[in-house]
């Protein structure tokens, strides 16, 4: 697609990147067919091709309105369109550029600006989020059903193995996950301990930066990235093999540190190394197959098969392009995976999307739950805290992180 960049962006890294991405798009529209918001809303401007056109207009100097911003806000950043695109258009990167421009050209105001500000300051701060969640959990029986569904009951983490193994890896604690489901990282530590790996956390690491990044605060996201790099660096220098992500949404963000900090002279090289050392827990467990597969085989032989529906988060299948890995591990552990139609579609969680675009998010959740339930599973599993919490708010079936299920199998 031929683009004439306007003066304000022509000689900038964002302008050059946008032009290179736009040049690849041949406007064929294949991506539209797999876009969840286009499927629901039926408006070309709520599909990838339409949004690409809106961004092209902005970089060519046309003004943007609140309506332009709304069409970009309604995008889930699920990147299903990237998976479908035959021309390799990096839609996600283009959207980041487009959103930044849309907010500059048509600044947010009123309730929209206030909600985003509250989310940005509240969620990534455990000292604020954790006590509020505890209060909600305490008052849970008294809450109205709609609110109760959003407050999960408290969970115990279980034992974290002593860090005695010769091989060591780091795990990102994250921001909301340790409060909502502390058992996820503890389960990952127990599974990896069986493979001869100690999983460690770095006390000063925190939110991966995805929350502020998607709430228009790129500088705060960069600050989070630098803080995490500083926390992890001494351990990487000391021989830690990898930085493991148990939330696929965080995995996408940390793998992107190299791009986020590419113009930062002090951090660019470190960010590139951190991005290279980042692994999803699925890849990590699969790579230890020699030690773990015999244990999983034995567990599968000793325990009854459980029917399980797996929801692959967009950040796993489209963002990190990891497909089939978790499913293979669950099958090896003796779970019978039920068929799930339209597995490429987003569940509607998408970070804070379910708060900011609740109507679309709920419709997507209900569609996803119908697809997941069609094979009559006994449980649902996923790989990202946001998807797990969002799906659990709409079903009585237990929704768990798959690593907890693997740990459970290996512990019996």
Distance in Å, CB of 372 to ligand SF4, minimum = 19
- Would you tell me how many other CB atoms lie within 10 Å of the CB of residue 8? 12
Distance in Å, CB of 91 to ligand SF4, minimum = 6
Residues that bind ligand SF4 (CB under 6 A): 25-31, 35-37, 48-49, 51, 75-81, 85, 87, 89, 91
Tell me whether residue 49 or residue 409 sits nearer to ligand SF4 (CB atom): 49
Tell me whether residue 37 or residue 382 sits nearer to ligand SF4 (CB atom): 37
Distance in Å, CB of 50 to ligand SF4, minimum = 9
Which residues, at least 6 apart from 124, have a Cβ–Cβ distance to it below 8 Å?
175, 206, 207, 211, 212, 224
Distance in Å, CB of 337 to ligand SF4, minimum = 24
Where b means 16+ CB within 10 Å and e means fewer, 345-354 reads: bbbbbbbbbb
Q: What share of the chain is helix, strand, coil (3-state, %, to 5)?
A: 60, 5, 35
Helices (H), 149-241: 177-180, 183-194, 210-213, 218-237
Tell me whether residue 12 or residue 87 sits nearer to ligand SF4 (CB atom): 87
Distance in Å, CB of 276 to ligand SF4, minimum = 25
Dihedral angle computed from the Cα positions of residues 321, 325, 330 and 331, in that order, rounded to the nearest 10 degrees = 120
Tell me whether residue 44 or residue 112 sits nearer to ligand SF4 (CB atom): 44
- SS3 of 65, please? coil
- Would you tell me how many other CB atoms lie within 10 Å of the CB of residue 301? 8
Distance in Å, CB of 37 to ligand SF4, minimum = 5
- SS3 of 169, please? strand
Tell me whether residue 89 or residue 326 sits nearer to ligand SF4 (CB atom): 89
CA distance 206 to 224: 7
Tokens of 160: 């974290």
Tell me whether residue 27 or residue 265 sits nearer to ligand SF4 (CB atom): 27
Distance in Å, CB of 176 to ligand SF4, minimum = 22
Distance in Å, CB of 72 to ligand SF4, minimum = 9
Tell me whether residue 330 or residue 371 sits nearer to ligand SF4 (CB atom): 371
The phi and psi torsions of 245 (rounded to 5 degrees) equal -110, 125
The kind and range of the H/E element at 6 are none
Tell me whether residue 171 or residue 345 sits nearer to ligand SF4 (CB atom): 345
CB 401 within 8 A of CB 184: yes
Tell me whether residue 213 or residue 335 sits nearer to ligand SF4 (CB atom): 213
CB 377 within 8 A of CB 308: yes
Which residues, at least 6 apart from 227, have a Cβ–Cβ distance to it below 8 Å?
204, 205, 206
Instruction: Write the DSSP symbol of residue 315.
Output: I
Distance in Å, CB of 47 to ligand SF4, minimum = 6
Tokens of 248: 């696929």
């Amino acid at each position: 697609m031929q683009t004439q960049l306007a003066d304000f962006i022509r000689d900038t890294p964002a302008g050059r990147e946008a032009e290179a991405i736009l040049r690849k798009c041949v406007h064929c529209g294949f991506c539209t067919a797999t876009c969840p918001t286009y499927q629901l809303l039926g408006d070309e401007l709520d599909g990838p091709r339409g949004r690409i056109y809106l961004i092209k207009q902005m970089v060519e100097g046309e003004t943007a309105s609140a309506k332009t911003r709304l069409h970009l806000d309604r995008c889930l950043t699920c990147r299903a369109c990237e998976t479908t695109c035959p021309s390799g258009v990096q839609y996600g990167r283009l959207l980041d550029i487009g959103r930044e421009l849309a907010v500059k050209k048509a600044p947010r105001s009123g309730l929209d600006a206030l909600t985003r500000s509250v989310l940005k300051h509240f969620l990534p701060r455990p000292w604020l989020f954790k006590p509020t969640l505890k209060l909600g959990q305490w008052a849970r029986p008294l809450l109205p059903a709609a609110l109760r569904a959003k407050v999960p009951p408290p969970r115990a983490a279980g034992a974290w193995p002593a860090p005695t193994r010769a091989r060591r890896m780091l795990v990102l604690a994250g921001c909301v996950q340790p409060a909502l489901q502390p058992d996820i990282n503890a389960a990952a530590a127990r599974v990896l301990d069986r493979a001869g790996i100690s999983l460690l956390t770095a006390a000063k690491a925190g939110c991966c930066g995805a929350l502020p990044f998607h709430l228009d605060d790129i500088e705060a996201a960069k600050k989070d990235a630098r803080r995490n790099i500083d926390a992890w660096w001494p351990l990487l220098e000391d021989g830690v093999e990898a930085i493991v992500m148990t939330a696929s949404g965080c995995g996408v963000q940390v793998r992107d540190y190299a791009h986020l900090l590419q113009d930062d002279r002090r951090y660019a090289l470190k960010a590139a190394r951190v991005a290279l050392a980042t692994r999803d827990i699925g890849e990590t467990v699969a790579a230890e197959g020699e030690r773990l597969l015999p244990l999983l085989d034995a567990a599968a032989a000793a325990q009854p098969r459980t029917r399980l529906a797996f929801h692959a988060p967009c950040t796993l299948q489209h963002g990190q392009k990891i497909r089939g890995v978790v499913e293979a591990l669950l099958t090896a552990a003796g779970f019978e995976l039920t068929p799930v139609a339209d597995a490429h579609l987003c569940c509607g969680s998408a970070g804070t999307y379910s708060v900011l675009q609740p109507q679309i998010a709920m419709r997507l959740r209900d569609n996803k739950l119908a697809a997941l339930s069609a094979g009559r599973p006994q449980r649902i599993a996923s790989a990202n805290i946001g998807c797990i919490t969002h799906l659990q708010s709409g079903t009585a079936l237990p929704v768990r992180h798959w690593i907890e299920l693997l740990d459970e199998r290996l512990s019996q």
